[in-house]
Amino acid sequence: MIKPDAVSNGHTGAILDDIIKGGFNIVALKYIRLTEDTAGQFYAVHSERPFYKDLVSFMSSGPIVAAILEKDNAVEDFRKLIGATDPSKADVGTIRNKYANSIEANAVHGSDSDENAQIEGSFFFTAFERF
């Protein structure tokens, strides 16, 4: 997912370009805005964390781009491409290093396991929308 900060700062095209050049195949792509309710559902796993309310508010503050990506070793390789959660700790050249502003407004989301990639892909896309 490209988060609201990166979309509103005009980085959508550059980030998609980095993703494609990183060897990922885009299987499905959608430009939408989450509500507080849907953002809360997406991040339900963090509902007990102190930053949950702010995160839900940020994630529903503007449009996002959701994508299903395909690659061998996709989960691990995507996390290498995006860098650490906190952009100040993200390696030079990673997406968060180049385009993120803060630990919360950190430009992109990536699934942390194959299982969660399935769940999160199904959150945004029906079977009909995947080719």
Neighbouring C-alpha atoms within 13 Å toward the C-beta of 7: 19
Can you list the alpha helix ranges (DSSP code H) found in the chain? 4-8, 12-21, 36-42, 52-59, 74-82, 95-99, 114-124
- Candidates 109, 117, 120, 121; binder of ligand GDP (CB under 6 A) is 109
Tokens found for residue 125: 């896309």
Map residues 43-82 to x or -, x wherever contact with ligand GDP holds by CB under 6 A: ---x----x--xx---------------------------
- Residues 31-48 as b or e (16 or more Cβ within 10 Å = b): eeebeeebbbebbeeeee
- Measured from the CB atom, is 77 or 104 closer to ligand GDP? 104
Please identify which of the residues 5, 65, 109, 111 carries the catalytic annotation: 109
- Candidates 14, 27, 29, 103; binder of ligand GDP (CB under 6 A) is 103
- Candidates 106, 117, 120, 124; binder of ligand GDP (CB under 6 A) is 106
Q: Which spans of this chain sit near ligand GDP (rule: CB under 6 A)?
A: 46, 51, 54-55, 85, 103-104, 106, 109, 112
